[in-house]
Amino acid sequence: MSATAFFGAGLRRDLLVLAALVVAGLLLPAALNRGLIFIAGMVWINAVFGLSFNLLFGLSGVLSFGQAMFFAAGAYGAAVLTQQWNVPFLLALPLSALFGGLLAGTVGAVALRRNEGVYFAILTLAFAELLHLLVVNTALLGKNDGLSGLARPVLGAAGLRLDLGAGDNFYYFIVLACAAAIALIRWVVATPFGRALQAVKQDPDRAEFLGIPVRMHRLAIFVFAGAMTAFAGALVAPWAQIVTPELAHWSNSTNPILFTLLGGSAYFWGPAMGAVMLSAVFYVTRTLVGISDLVTGLLLLSVVLALPGGVLGLADRLLRATRHRSAGHAGKEAEA
Amino acid sequence: MAVADVLTLLVNSLTWAMATFLVAAGLTLVFGTLHILNFSHGGFFMIGAYVAYSLAQAVGASDSVALYLFGSLAAGVLVALLGLVVDRLVLRRLAGVEDAYILIATYALLLVCEGATKLVWGLKYQSVMPPQALDGAWVLGQAVVPRLSLFIIAAGVLTYAALEIFLNRTRGGRLVKAIAADAWMARLMGINVRRVYTATVALGFALAGLAGGLLLANQALSPSLASAFVIYAFGVIIVGGMGSISGAFAGSILLGLIDAVGQWVLPTLPGLPFFAAMTLILLLRPQGLMGRRQ
């Protein structure tokens, strides 16, 4: 494995990939209709959701089955702040992320006492269901109906006025906001803190012995992942213009798990890849009830049983194989 | 609170407890022996319920309790066969895989179950009336005790008794217990561990299918049945102690009572006491009430 946490990862190369993705993302509205643009926006948001989850799973070796609670916290946070308290969206966005981080700090401080085996997964699931029940039963949050009719924000500063509700404006905003979030996530992975987490994943006892405060590190990354997840959730509120308790249901917690496993948890871009793939599966199978669950389940099953590296792992292997073959033809110096 | 209210509350919570125990029994059996926490257990419970429903539809409207029981048994057998397939294709390959990946793999199986159910039986809610002998209720003073509730409580207690007798008094059951305690040593003693694993999976799945049939008239049938019940079953076996049948039995009764009392004290937040109790037990006594630390 290379010096960085993920396979084949270099900070500069990943930022270049990100820049390319942003350019491609910004060009999409020229090619796609409004329905597909909505899906593309959801893919960007889901990519942040998945990448945040993989900070826990792929980077730190902690499986959380409760990430929906932070996603919902961000979505409801943004909805309540903008709709009921008239907070400007550009302020509501970081506040929602902060709220998600605080929630993650509270839950993590308690739940990380049990990080062995499946206990942490089930514990986070139970916490998320607690929050789901609270949401369903809180009048301020619209109970089972959620909050609807959320307006897309109008940004205004120094006489300039930008209506994000017009045209594809909010899609462009999502692309830029998600790109900023992804860059931040990628940067954290590259810091010494991110590398220490990798050590924690491989051997917590040895990491502790080497002087890494394992529990504090796990809590810190849990809080950061919670904040980034809430940030993604806060973008959903004005994009879908409705937030419902479904966002907090545990089945939403499994979405980033699906993205990550399908794409490849050992690769930084795995969850983003998985988010694109799953959206494609859902789009293609949208007319046949049940097929999407069936296909998703079978894909996930085959990845866990036969293809632990996910799609990127498969691509990596194929690429290496062809490069190896051509290197064999070209001579020894080709493989540097 | 009048006596009648207490009785109603008790009957309701015991009905919930035994319904959940019926689902949790197979889950805890498989976890105790193979150390696989099977997320898809709820999915196979749901398939059992739909199979029993289809059988009832095929036979036509019937008021016979015997037929209701036969449908449940048939669902149990069919789901056990599915269990053999799942064991062959999936569970065997999970030996030695990290816990996190086992949970994800069995969650994938749950998705497959839900997708298949939606494809075969559709999204519509179906409800099934209990046979006439189980319909209606007894009136005891002010309290009303539905006959179906008593049937479910009896089914839960009988299933528990049968499992306890099987595990403690028969050779096959002792083999399961021996392997659960130490599979490596059991193998050294010349036991065919693989075969016992397969039999345990079949039994666990049979219990899921049976529970589906027995609880058919207890709630509406829909593709969301699986995820609701599997979470309750998780809670019950965590509180009782993962892998212990008597733990699941006690845990389901305890959680049933906690939930019922909670709904009486906190009527605005139904379900909250269940998850609060589950998180507290996980934090304070992760091995559960009756489990031993591993």
Residue-range definition of the domain harbouring residue B111: 22-222
Question: Which range among A38-42, A310-314, B248-252 shows the weakest confidence by mean pLDDT?
Answer: A310-314
The pair phi, psi for residue B138, each rounded to 5°, is -95, 140
Q: At what angle do helices A34-54 and A169-190 cross, to 10 degrees?
A: 20
How much is the average pLDDT of A253-277? 93
pLDDT at A335: 44
Task: Decide: B148 and B137 in contact? Cβ < 8 Å.
Answer: no
Task: Decide: A295 and A285 in contact? Cβ < 8 Å.
Answer: yes
pLDDT at A2: 40
pLDDT at B292: 61
Residue B194: count of CB within 10 angstroms of its CB: 12
- On whether residue B166 sits in a domain, the answer given is yes
State the Cα–Cα distance between residues A226 and A232, nearest whole angstrom. Answer: 10
- On whether residue B139 sits in a domain, the answer given is yes
State the Cα–Cα distance between residues B44 and B109, nearest whole angstrom. Answer: 9
- On whether residue B228 sits in a domain, the answer given is no
Task: Decide: A290 and B116 in contact? Cβ < 8 Å.
Answer: yes
Is residue A51 pLDDT above 90, yes or no? yes
**Chain A partners within 8 Å of B282 (Cβ):** 114, 119, 122-123, 126
What is chain B's pLDDT, residue by residue, as a tens digit (294 residues)?
677 788 888 998 999 999 999 999 999 999 989 889 999 999 999 999 999 999 988 887 667 888 899 999 999 999 999 999 999 999 999 887 888 889 999 999 999 999 999 999 988 888 888 888 888 888 877 778 899 999 999 999 999 999 999 999 999 999 999 998 888 898 898 888 999 999 999 999 999 999 999 999 888 899 889 988 999 999 999 888 888 899 999 999 999 999 888 888 888 777 888 888 888 888 888 787 776 654
**Chain B partners within 8 Å of A288 (Cβ):** 119
Determine contact: B101 vs chain A, CB below 8 A.
Answer: yes
The answer to whether the CB atoms of A297 and B115 lie below 8 A apart is: yes
Residue B169: count of CB within 10 angstroms of its CB: 9
pLDDT at A158: 61
State the Cα–Cα distance between residues B8 and B144, nearest whole angstrom. Answer: 7
**C-alpha distance from A276 to closest chain B C-alpha (Å):** 19
**Chain B partners within 8 Å of A117 (Cβ):** 99
pLDDT at A167: 76
| A58-90 exposure pattern, b = at least 16 Cβ within 10 A, e = fewer | bbbbbbbbbbbbbbbbbbbbbbbbbbeeebebe
SS (HEC) of chain A: CCCCCCCCCCHHHHHHHHHHHHHHHHHHHHCCCHHHHHHHHHHHHHHHHHHHHHHHHHHCCCCCCCCHHHHHHHHHHHHHHHHHCCCCHHHHHHHHHHHHHHHHHHHHHHHCCCCCCCHHHHHHHHHHHHHHHHHHCCHHHCHHHCEECCCCCEEEECCEEEECCCCCHHHHHHHHHHHHHHHHHHHHHHCHHHHHHHHHHHCHHHHHHCCCCHHHHHHHHHHHHHHHHHHHHHHHHHHHCEECHHHHCHHHHHHHHHHHHHHCCCCCCHHHHHHHHHHHHHHHCCCCCCHHHHHHHHHHHHHHHHCCCHHHHHHHHHHHHHHHHHHHHHCHHHCC
pLDDT at A331: 52
Structural domains of chain B, count = 1
pLDDT at B294: 47
Task: Decide: A119 and B31 in contact? Cβ < 8 Å.
Answer: no
State the Cα–Cα distance between residues B255 and A126, nearest whole angstrom. Answer: 14
State the Cα–Cα distance between residues A66 and A53, nearest whole angstrom. Answer: 10
State the Cα–Cα distance between residues B23 and B208, nearest whole angstrom. Answer: 6
Task: Decide: B221 and B53 in contact? Cβ < 8 Å.
Answer: yes
CA A32 distance to own-chain centroid: 24
**C-alpha distance from A259 to closest chain B C-alpha (Å):** 12
Residue A165: count of CB within 10 angstroms of its CB: 12
Please give the residue of chain A at the shortest CA–CA distance from B117.
A290
Share of chain A above pLDDT 90, in %: 49
Residue A109: count of CB within 10 angstroms of its CB: 13
Is residue A260 pLDDT above 90, yes or no? yes
Is residue A8 pLDDT above 80, yes or no? no
φ/ψ region of B203 (left if φ > 0, alpha if ψ in -120 to 50, else beta) reads alpha
- On whether residue B50 sits in a domain, the answer given is yes
Which of B37, B114, B278 is the closest to A126 by Cβ?
Answer: B278
**Chain B partners within 8 Å of A289 (Cβ):** 118-119, 122-123
pLDDT at B4: 79
CA B101 distance to own-chain centroid: 23
Q: 117-136 in A: which are within 8 Å (CB) of B?
A: 117-119, 121-123, 125-127, 129-130, 133-134
State the Cα–Cα distance between residues B23 and A4, nearest whole angstrom. Answer: 45
pLDDT at A157: 65
Amino acid at A192: P
Task: Decide: A103 and A111 in contact? Cβ < 8 Å.
Answer: no
State the Cα–Cα distance between residues B251 and A330, nearest whole angstrom. Answer: 67
pLDDT at A4: 46
Q: What is the pTM of this model?
A: 0.88
- On whether residue B98 sits in a domain, the answer given is yes
The answer to whether the CB atoms of B275 and A126 lie below 8 A apart is: yes
More confident residue, B47 or A169: B47
Tell me what the pLDDT averaged over chain A comes to. 88
**Chain A partners within 8 Å of B238 (Cβ):** 122
Confidence grade of residue A186 (pLDDT, cut at 50, 70, 90): very high
How distant, in Å, are the alpha carbons of A172, A263, B34, B36, B244 from that of A165?
A: 11, 32, 54, 49, 56
Q: Are strands A154-157 and B137-140 parallel, antiparallel or unpaired?
A: unpaired
**Chain A partners within 8 Å of B122 (Cβ):** 289
**C-alpha distance from A208 to closest chain B C-alpha (Å):** 22
- On whether residue B267 sits in a domain, the answer given is no
Q: What is the pLDDT of residues A117-165, one digit of tens each?
A: 678 888 899 899 999 999 998 888 888 888 888 888 877 666 667 777 7
For residue A287, what are its two tokens? 């007319």
- On whether residue B186 sits in a domain, the answer given is yes
pLDDT at A334: 44
- On whether residue B193 sits in a domain, the answer given is yes
Compute the C-alpha angle A73/A97/A212, nearest 5°. 110
Task: Decide: B24 and B252 in contact? Cβ < 8 Å.
Answer: yes
Is residue A277 pLDDT above 80, yes or no? yes
Size of interface A-B (CB pairs under 8 A): 122
Q: Of B158, B162, B149, B152, which is closest to residue B29 (Cα–Cα)?
A: B162
CA B217 distance to own-chain centroid: 16
For residue B88, what are its two tokens? 């062959």
Task: Decide: A151 and A165 in contact? Cβ < 8 Å.
Answer: yes
